[in-house]
Amino acid sequence: MKIVIIGGSGLIGRKTSTILKSEGHDIVSASPSTGVDSVSGSGVAEALTGANVVIDVTNSPSFEDRAVLDFFRRSTGNLLTAAKAAGVAHYIALSVVGADRIRDSGYLRAKRVQEELIEAGGVPFTILRATQFFEFLDGIAGSGTEGDVVYMSPSKFQPVAADDVAATLADIATSAPKNGAVELAGPEASSLAKFIQSYLSSKGDTRKVIPDPDATYFGAVLDKDGLAPVAQFIPGRTRFEDWARSS
Ligand SMILES: NC(=O)c1ccc[n+]([C@@H]2O[C@H](COP(=O)([O-])OP(=O)(O)OC[C@H]3O[C@@H](n4cnc5c(N)ncnc54)[C@H](OP(=O)(O)O)[C@@H]3O)[C@@H](O)[C@H]2O)c1
């Protein structure tokens, strides 16, 4: 099967490509460095010619509200137009748990726009919404740091290993389109503050995390459900402690 991974040079793109190649699929890893720019549309039609499946794991270079909205709107529009023209049988995109619920985050609003374009795009699809990757915890900790202290929301949090995200995308790529969204979260839920403290302690980082209900998540106010799934989800296999020990 020919599977095109847009954003194939990124964290999830590389891992997904490795799994699908090991299963014998014909993988095209596309990104600006291979001449494929989903925002301008340059190289997209050529990359998608003959593709059975497209996996969109691109990310915006800027997380500023307007820039990220512009990125996902243009990129998704170009990818869907090319996918339809190429007769792609399954269009898969990676979104974020809470994109349909958390309206206070400009990034998540942009991800919801991406989802809506796919839902209306006329190509059979599956959206995988994942929670935050373990690999992203460092960035989250940095966002709340003031000196030796990290202010973090006590809202519910259930991050997942990037390896489990890639494995789930690979499973989806070899299954029938769901024409809907499925959610993936880690096997353990706690609070954002507790997870970040565990992460820092596992690295020998002496910063102290203060649970603070007023602390925002990259500017967004979280409710008690926070960034965790509120309905059925696929549980990731990797426990945080095992990931931290091996990374
Ligand atoms: N971080 C999290 O915790 C989290 C949680 C849930 C879902 N997600 C979603 O996961 C997705 C992938 O995340 P990631 O961490 O794997 O991203 P990443 O490592 O930053 O990789 C992003 C990829 O997008 C490519 N890209 C950027 N601009 C492009 C363009 N104009 N045209 C084509 N490709 C372009 C990059 O190519 P270059 O290498 O050439 O720049 C790179 O391959 C995102 O959509 C994000 O919303 C993230």
Q: pLDDT, tens digit, for every residue of 63-120?
A: 999 999 999 999 999 999 999 999 999 999 999 999 999 999 999 999 999 999 999 9
Residue 29's CB is within 10 A of a number of other CB atoms, namely: 21
- Output the residue whose Cα is nearest ligand 1's atom 4: 132
Chain mean pLDDT for the chain: 97
Mean pLDDT value across residues 165-184: 98
Centroid of ligand 1 to alpha carbon of 60 (angstroms): 6
Does the beta carbon of 6 sit less than 6 angstroms from any atom of ligand 1?
Answer: yes
Does the beta carbon of 31 sit less than 6 angstroms from any atom of ligand 1?
Answer: yes
Do the beta carbons of residue 170 and residue 23 sit within 8 Å? yes
Centroid of ligand 1 to alpha carbon of 206 (angstroms): 30
Distance CA 107, CA 92 (A): 19
Centroid of ligand 1 to alpha carbon of 10 (angstroms): 6
Centroid of ligand 1 to alpha carbon of 7 (angstroms): 6
Does the beta carbon of 59 sit less than 6 angstroms from any atom of ligand 1?
Answer: yes
Whole-number pLDDT of residue 38 = 98
Mean pLDDT value across residues 6-18: 98
Do the beta carbons of residue 93 and residue 118 sit within 8 Å? yes
Distance CA 73, CA 109 (A): 11
Half-sphere exposure (Cβ direction) of 66: Cα atoms closer than 13 Å: 0
Does the beta carbon of 190 sit less than 6 angstroms from any atom of ligand 1?
Answer: no
Distance CA 52, CA 4 (A): 8
Structure tokens at 150: 């990290």
CA 205 to centroid of chain Cα atoms: 26
Does the beta carbon of 78 sit less than 6 angstroms from any atom of ligand 1?
Answer: no
Whole-number pLDDT of residue 228 = 98
Distance CA 116, CA 100 (A): 10
- Output the residue whose Cα is nearest ligand 1's atom 18: 10
Residue whose structure tokens are 């799934």? 229
* Better pLDDT: 96 or 224: 96
Our mutation pick for probing the ligand 1 site, out of 15, 31, 37, 54, counting the most ligand atoms within 8 A of Cβ, is 31
Do the beta carbons of residue 175 and residue 149 sit within 8 Å? no
pLDDT above 70 coverage of the chain, percent = 100
What is the phi/psi pair of residue 94, to 5°? -95, 120
Does the beta carbon of 72 sit less than 6 angstroms from any atom of ligand 1?
Answer: no
Whole-number pLDDT of residue 2 = 98
Whole-number pLDDT of residue 202 = 97
Residues 6 or more apart whose CB falls under 8 angstroms from that of 238 comprise 134, 160, 161, 163, 164, 186, 187
Centroid of ligand 1 to alpha carbon of 200 (angstroms): 25
Beta strands at 234-235 and 180-185: parallel, antiparallel or unpaired = parallel
Closest ligand 1 atom to Cα of 13: 16
* Degrees to nearest 5, angle at CA 147 with 226 and 151: 15
What are the structural domains of the chain?
2-246 (3.40.50.720)
Centroid of ligand 1 to alpha carbon of 31 (angstroms): 10
